[in-house]
Chains A and B, each alone.
Chain A
Amino acid sequence: MENILAQAKKVAEEAEVFLVSSEETSAQFEANRLKHIQSKQSTSLALRIVRQGRLGYAATTEPSDAQSLVDNAVATAHFGMRVKFELPSPATYPQIDIFDPAVESTSIEKMSELGQELIALVTEHTPDIICEAIVTKEIISLRIINSRGGQASYRKSIFGLGIEGSLIRGTDMLFVGESQSSCHPITQPREVAEVVLKQLELAKNQASVPTRQLPAIFTPRGVANALIPSLMMAFNGKTVLEGASPIGNRLGQPVFDPKLWLWDDPTIAYRPHSRPCDDEGIPSQRTPLIEQGTVANFLYDLQTAALAGTKSTGNGSRGGGVPVPSPTALIIATGETTLDEMVSDIKEGLVIEQLMGAEQGNILGGDFSGNVLLGYKVESGKIVGRVKNTMVSGNVYQVLKEVTAIGSEAEWVGGFLHTPPLYCPRLSVASK
């Protein structure tokens, strides 16, 4: 790395070398039994240079080939964007625990057993369900060095356990599932299984819904796939800078229900999305986004922050390319109402676990619309069964402007969102 940085400095004003390597092993189950074991080793090195004020970028899987990498970066710097930021100087990083050696030492045999136990718990409850499951462990090593002397590195361990089951009766199909992840090994499959068993119980009967506006409860999974995609775009500093965020000029203003609090937090110990610094070497911080319904901040990387005249929030993330602003882990504060209390408050309404196709509409404008892949009908304060052939549509800004209640218990969804259920007074429902 130092060698590449030295070579790059010969042809550029500034340079940064980013190296990430990972070792991942997974046990994969199909049709209720172990089918694959996979190991993946990967290395990726990216070079950013500033040459005549413009950014050049090149990446390779072969760090030994320094010259081609530098040449490629120089070629792109000819057209690259004008750099408005400075690479970070040496900095102090928060101590965030994200590595547990017990993940690395978990044997593949142990992982296979864990998957088998998980499937057994689900098939004992519903013998004719067909499950796919995956147990993964991954060790990620990351290092960044730049020409201003800045350097950062960390190791992270991630362990994941997930299951998806399908239950087919005639041409009726029910899909259930849950996954959990941690920087510690997950040793008990029970918690994941319990979620799936509850879904199976609630979906035992079918119920029909009318085509009209109904109150709706979004479960944590429902919040994740119906509401979060729009918010992620809206709080992205880049969207704001372009004037394309519906809340871009509402900083400090009440836009959401005053019960709503949302923040981005990469500093929670042993969470897979936590990290001491972002992918540009900026120290991690907790960034409030919604405080008491008021827009508090947007998320920035270095360049976007410089253009917007503000500071990076440590949200520069590389999804295989150049850094862009991206949330790490989003947290919605818990409220005071239990899920049972929400359900018992509804005369006729819906509980939404999963919408299919929710992210396909005008999510920039906050619209969402999707088929209820997993959701339940509420009648007179009780969940009476699963709904099918039902579409719901709404707009995030309308839905979150007035929230009836916020749940008192939060859950992690997909590792990137920690949220309680949200109860909304009305949502458009179309049904066959």
Chain B
Amino acid sequence: MTNIQAIGRQLAEAVKGYSADYIEARLEESQRSHITYRGKELESVGQSTAVGGNIRALVKGGWGFVSFNELSDLPRRIELAVKQATLVGKEESKLAPVEPIVDIVSPETGNNPLTIPLAEKKQLLDEYNDIIWRTPKLQTSIIAYGDSHKKVIFLSSSGSYIQQQRSDISLRLSAVAAEDGEVQQVGLSLGSRGDFSSMRGLHQPVEEMARHAVELLSAPQVKGGEYTVVLDPVLAGVFVHEAFGHLSESDFVYENDRLRQIMVLGKKFGSTELNIVDTAAIPGLRGSYKYDDEGVPATKTYLVREGELVGRLHSRETAAKMGEKPTGNARAINYRFPPIVRMTNTYIEPGSASFDEIIADIKEGVYAKNWFGGTTSMEMFTFSAGEAYMIRHGKLAEPLRPVVLTGNVFTTLDNIDAIGNDLEMNQGGGCGKGGQMPLPVSNGSPHIRIRHCLVGGR
């Protein structure tokens, strides 16, 4: 494989000799493996390697970006990026200042999943698939396991040179039950920052997943309308990511005066019990890192504190243009893309209520659990639950078909009237934005209760 360190050292000098306000480069080498099952049979197993890089140049506020797999003739690629930026640039370049950093971050030990033999991974997945298939009325199963390890070198014309490594694992299992032309599906999504042992010992949740898919065949669909909804930590984590996290990404806001007025710091979004945080600085989570893809150190950012908007996520450019401090949230999914403002590990801080207290006074409501998907348009968001139950007279009642919930960010956060004491982080998600998907992130929350939530149904 091409030696990216040697190329990096040459580039570190080369990027300094051009007439641009700023130039940076990333070089990346990666290995991946995947194993997928459709039904009882293994469908695909494969291994791949990739080497690539990019150059990004800033001239008078305009960006040029060139990505490549062929690492020859890099001076020509730098010239192209500078030429493109020059063609765009008509203003003044603004980047929040950061100290140049030179750091070779030592790899986290024992967490490269590519060192685990394929046979061992396959054996574990076989066990899970066997469990799924022991369930009666099971029609089929889908299992998708993927892991990766990559080394990334970041360098810039301001003198930064950072080497970081990261591993990532994702595992998605789903069970499909069918009867009389009815088909129901339940999934389980897991992820890890490279620790394969966290994929082990899931036999019980896998069994429950398969049983639940069968149970749904006879479950009713909820009647559409407004409900008091209780979200479990997994789904509440998706909710905070979709309903608020994306709106906190400053690249949506920084050049949009009307959005800036809406998202003015100090604006009240929820009750004084509501605190929302994004941080890449906790080690070991899927969204964690020491430096982002612009070489800015990771921070802990309160987005909402005691119900008020107090912060947002920045790249160097959005921070400079909004006169705020960079937060280290510029991330690129790989070398084919420039970094954009992204979440990392986003969560609602725990409150004081127990689960029993949260549901105690709900006469008729919906308990929604487990992640299926979510999306946002800034103002409106939707997310869907993999599992749902009616709540009747303060108790969990019959299971429901999967539900889709929707709401308006500006009213829904304020409708959260109970926050549990049981924060859990979910590593199973992947976030998509600007064609870059799925970016490893984690979300978390305790159980929360939302009044007047719109639920789609029959």
Residues of chain A having any CB pair with chain B under 8 Å:
30-31, 34-44, 46, 55-62, 65, 68, 72-73, 75-76, 78-82, 108-109, 112, 128, 130, 166, 168-173, 175, 211, 238, 242-246, 321-322, 356-357, 359-362, 364-367, 369-371, 373, 388-389, 391-393, 428-432
How far, in Å, is B223 (CB) from chain A's closest CB?
9
Contact between chains at A369 and B80 (CB < 8 Å): no
Contact between chains at B49 and A68 (CB < 8 Å): yes
Residue in A closest to B263 when the chains form the complex, CB atoms: A171
Known A-B contacts A41-B67, A356-B375, A362-B183; the reply to A36 vs B88 at CB < 8 A is: yes
Beyond A35-B63, A42-B336, A392-B456, 6 additional pairs, beta carbon < 8 A: A37-B85, A37-B88, A38-B65, A166-B256, A243-B178, A393-B224
Contact between chains at A244 and B183 (CB < 8 Å): yes
Contact between chains at A72 and B401 (CB < 8 Å): no
Contact between chains at A389 and B48 (CB < 8 Å): no
Known A-B contacts A35-B88, A76-B46, A211-B225; the reply to A361 vs B454 at CB < 8 A is: no
Partner of B1, one of A62, A238, A367: A62
| C-alpha spacing A320/B358, complex, angstroms | 45
Contact between chains at A38 and B44 (CB < 8 Å): no
Q: Which B residues are CB-close (under 8 A) to A62?
A: 1-2, 49, 51, 69
Greatest chain B CB density within 10 A among A34, A169, A173, A431 is at: A173
Q: Top 9 nearest A-B pairs by Cβ distance?
A: A357-B382, A430-B224, A57-B46, A37-B84, A31-B255, A360-B384, A360-B373, A369-B456, A59-B48
Contact between chains at A322 and B46 (CB < 8 Å): yes
Residue in B closest to A234 when the chains form the complex, CB atoms: B183
Known A-B contacts A243-B139, A244-B178; the reply to A40 vs B406 at CB < 8 A is: no
Partner of B42, one of A40, A41, A81, A373: A81
Known A-B contacts A42-B69, A362-B184; the reply to A36 vs B63 at CB < 8 A is: yes
Contact between chains at B44 and A321 (CB < 8 Å): yes
Partner of B51, one of A37, A61, A175: A61
| C-alpha spacing A211/B223, complex, angstroms | 11
Known A-B contacts A171-B262, A321-B46, A430-B224; the reply to A369 vs B373 at CB < 8 A is: no
Partner of B66, one of A34, A39, A393: A39
Residue in B closest to A71 when the chains form the complex, CB atoms: B47
How far, in Å, is B112 (CB) from chain A's closest CB?
16
Contact between chains at B140 and A60 (CB < 8 Å): no
Contact between chains at B88 and A389 (CB < 8 Å): no
How far, in Å, is B431 (CB) from chain A's closest CB?
15
Greatest chain B CB density within 10 A among A37, A75, A238, A244 is at: A37
| C-alpha spacing A242/B174, complex, angstroms | 13
| C-alpha spacing A169/B261, complex, angstroms | 11
List 6 interface pairs A-B (beta carbons < 8 Å), by A numbering: A42-B52, A43-B70, A44-B69, A360-B382, A370-B382, A388-B380
Known A-B contacts A361-B402, A365-B182, A428-B457; the reply to A39 vs B67 at CB < 8 A is: yes
Residue in A closest to B225 when the chains form the complex, CB atoms: A430
Contact between chains at A38 and B455 (CB < 8 Å): no
Q: Which A residues are CB-close (under 8 A) to B2?
A: 62
Interface code B443-458, partner A: CB below 8 Å = 1, 0 otherwise? Answer: 0000000001011111
Q: State whether the Cβ of B328 lies closer than 8 Å to any Cβ in chain A.
A: no
| C-alpha spacing A31/B64, complex, angstroms | 17
Q: State whether the Cβ of B50 lies closer than 8 Å to any Cβ in chain A.
A: yes
Q: Which B residues are CB-close (under 8 A) to A108?
A: 84, 87
Known A-B contacts A37-B88, A39-B66, A40-B336; the reply to A58 vs B256 at CB < 8 A is: no
Contact between chains at B176 and A364 (CB < 8 Å): yes
| C-alpha spacing A73/B46, complex, angstroms | 7
Interface size on B, residues (CB 8 A): 79
Q: Which A residues are CB-close (under 8 A) to B45?
A: 56-57, 76, 79-80
Known A-B contacts A108-B87, A322-B44, A391-B404; the reply to A168 vs B382 at CB < 8 A is: no
How far, in Å, is B57 (CB) from chain A's closest CB?
10
Contact between chains at B65 and A428 (CB < 8 Å): no
Contact between chains at B34 and A430 (CB < 8 Å): no
| C-alpha spacing A242/B45, complex, angstroms | 19
Q: State whether the Cβ of B116 lies closer than 8 Å to any Cβ in chain A.
A: no
Contact between chains at B63 and A238 (CB < 8 Å): no
Cβ < 8 Å to A, chain B residues 197-227: 224-226
Greatest chain A CB density within 10 A among B84, B378, B406 is at: B406
Q: Which A residues are CB-close (under 8 A) to B49?
A: 59-62, 65, 68, 72
Q: Which A residues are CB-close (under 8 A) to B383?
A: 357, 360
Interface code B367-389, partner A: CB below 8 Å = 1, 0 otherwise? Answer: 00000111111111111100000
Greatest chain A CB density within 10 A among B52, B224, B377, B456 is at: B456
Interface code B217-255, partner A: CB below 8 Å = 1, 0 otherwise? Answer: 000000011100000000000000000000000000001
Partner of A168, one of B118, B119, B256, B401: B256
| C-alpha spacing A362/B118, complex, angstroms | 32
Q: Which B residues are CB-close (under 8 A) to A238?
A: 38
| C-alpha spacing A130/B256, complex, angstroms | 7
Greatest chain B CB density within 10 A among A73, A112, A168, A429 is at: A168
Partner of B69, one of A41, A58, A373, A431: A41
How far, in Å, is B9 (CB) from chain A's closest CB?
20
Q: State whether the Cβ of B394 lies closer than 8 Å to any Cβ in chain A.
A: no
Contact between chains at A36 and B65 (CB < 8 Å): yes
| C-alpha spacing A278/B456, complex, angstroms | 39
Q: State whether the Cβ of B133 lies closer than 8 Å to any Cβ in chain A.
A: no
| C-alpha spacing A108/B408, complex, angstroms | 40
Q: Which A residues are CB-close (under 8 A) to B67?
A: 38-42
How far, in Å, is A205 (CB) from chain B's closest CB?
18
Residue in B closest to A58 when the chains form the complex, CB atoms: B47
Q: Which A residues are CB-close (under 8 A) to B118?
A: 75-76, 78-79
Contact between chains at B65 and A39 (CB < 8 Å): yes
Interface code B248-289, partner A: CB below 8 Å = 1, 0 otherwise? Answer: 000000011011001000000000000000000000000000
Known A-B contacts A75-B47, A373-B377, A393-B456; the reply to A360 vs B139 at CB < 8 A is: no
Partner of B378, one of A72, A173, A360: A173
